[in-house]
Amino acid sequence: MIFGILGMVAFNLVDTFYVGQLGTAPLAAISFTFPVILMLNSLSMGLGVGASAVISRAIGEGDPYKVKRLTTDSLVLALLVVVAFVALGLLTINPLFQALGARGEILALTRQYMLIWYLGMPFVVIPMVGNNAIRATGDTKTPSAIMMTAVVVNMVMDPLLIFGLGPFPRMELAGAALATVLARATTLGVSFWVLYHREKMITFSPPALSEVLASWRQILYIGLPTAATNMIIPVAAGIVTRLLASFGPETVAGYGVASRIDMFALTVLMALGSVLGPFVGQNLGAGKFDRLRRGVSLSQRFALVWGGLMFLLLAVLARPVAGLFNDNPLVIDTIVLYLHIVPIGYGMQGMLMLSNTTLNVLNKPFYASGLIITQMFVLYVPLAYLASTMFGPAGIFSAAVTANLLAGLAAFLVLRRLLPAGAVRTPSQPYRVPAGGK
């Protein structure tokens, strides 16, 4: 599982590394795209989480027809959603990135990148939902292999298209976008093949409209709040990007690089969250509540240990790592500043991530949404705005740490109260949500 998440993060890191060699302006441009791409990826992840949660429960209940229906309907839903967002994205490129603070040459470069990325969005969203469906079966190796294959394609195509090596034209930033789209396209075909031919989880039998709508309601009940919750993070990142833009394009470029390193450091916790969802869903469906609680508790302890290790590692390696991406001293200083401050909160950030995954599978998506809203808009954004006026970028990064620490603690307390207790029940006994939840 870790390799699949690592592959997803590697997409951003590889692009950022090669684009950084083009100069500060292209690096700043791709950094402006980060909140928007993260928002659209959050939409995909939300649909995927919703699909994974309901499919894993159907598997736990031993209902193969329901598994096929939910899988097929989740892919159709993803296609319809992506078409709408592609159209919206293409119509709003200039005003959206102007609002984030992009101007002049950087705005033109950003537009160049996003035109290609938007057109390739179906190759991002649909296989992400498909991989979550595969993961719901308990198979984490296949989605990881699919993702790593795409990473290899991206790593090969990036230098060819960005720098124009061999017979390929020099496309620079547009080449980075095209390489990503081509690499993502490989995941669409492979994930569909696995779902249809190997797992037999896709059906082409004409369904009743009522069945499709029922499937969509189940998926969206979890997926929509999850997507909306996940989108809160990139919206906050967009506001922070706008705040950082007032300190110059070098600061935005440094923030963009540091954010990608940030995601790389949290890869293990993201992977753990992806497998925790099916684990909770299957044990919930089978009534193994004691096993569920032990698994969640162990994952929380691991998050704290991993966060501490990453903080120590990045404190030592921040400057040499920063120098790999760009040679501008201001960009490097911003990266180092970020990596010396933000990782302090990694452990509790992991606690929040894992708690929200569990709450979603427990049919408590509104608790998860409330925690993220509190983290981002009650704590992070207001503190970042106030601190930026007094301490500059250092104040913004310190606000992120404060928000992660407090929100992580709140998530731990909420989940401890809502986890189901009791011994193993028989499969014929339905699980009922504990009183007091939504």
Contact of 383 with 399, CB cutoff 8 Å: yes
Average confidence (pLDDT) over 337-366: 92
Average confidence (pLDDT) over 3-22: 81
The pLDDT, as a whole number, for residue 428 is 40
* 177-231 pLDDT, tens digit each: 999 899 989 988 899 899 998 888 888 888 889 888 998 998 888 888 778 777 8
d(CA 45, CA 298): 24
Q: Which of the four pLDDT bands, split at 50, 70 and 90, describes residue 137?
A: confident
d(CA 237, CA 165): 35
For the entire predicted model, the pTM comes to 0.80
Query: Which position has the higher pLDDT, 385 or 434?
Result: 385
Side-chain-side CA neighbours of residue 284 (13 Å) = 25
* CA dist list (Å): 348 to 106, 180, 231, 325, 420: 35, 32, 20, 28, 22
* 295-343 pLDDT, tens digit each: 999 999 999 999 999 999 999 999 999 999 999 999 999 999 999 999 9
Over 90: is that where the pLDDT of 114 sits? yes
Which of 12-26, 121-135, 276-290 is the least confident region? 276-290
Contact of 366 with 438, CB cutoff 8 Å: yes
d(CA 352, CA 241): 23
Residue 69, amino acid: R
The pLDDT, as a whole number, for residue 3 is 65
The pLDDT, as a whole number, for residue 430 is 44
Mean model confidence pLDDT for the chain = 88
The pLDDT, as a whole number, for residue 4 is 61
Q: Which residues contact 417 (CB under 8 A, 6 or more apart)?
A: none
d(CA 8, CA 21): 21
Q: Which of the four pLDDT bands, split at 50, 70 and 90, describes residue 427?
A: very low
Q: Which two tokens stand for residue 374?
A: 């509190």
The pLDDT, as a whole number, for residue 87 is 92
Query: Which position has the higher pLDDT, 418 or 158?
Result: 158
Q: Give the number of residues written for the chain.
A: 438
* CA dist list (Å): 288 to 137, 360, 422: 17, 18, 9
Rounded CA Rg of the chain: 21
Over 60: is that where the pLDDT of 413 sits? yes
Q: Which of the four pLDDT bands, split at 50, 70 and 90, describes residue 60?
A: confident
Q: Which residues contact 229 (CB under 8 A, 6 or more apart)?
A: 46, 356, 365, 368, 369, 372, 373
d(CA 298, CA 343): 21
Q: Which of 90-104, 215-229, 410-424 has the highest mean pLDDT?
A: 90-104
* 378-397 pLDDT, tens digit each: 999 999 999 999 999 999 99
Three-state DSSP state, 432: coil
The pLDDT, as a whole number, for residue 275 is 84
The pLDDT, as a whole number, for residue 249 is 93
Q: Which residues contact 374 (CB under 8 A, 6 or more apart)?
A: 407, 410
Cα torsion 149, 155, 160, 162: sign? positive
d(CA 305, CA 278): 23
d(CA 76, CA 82): 10
State how far Cα 404 lies from the chain centre. 17
d(CA 125, CA 243): 29
The pLDDT, as a whole number, for residue 199 is 83
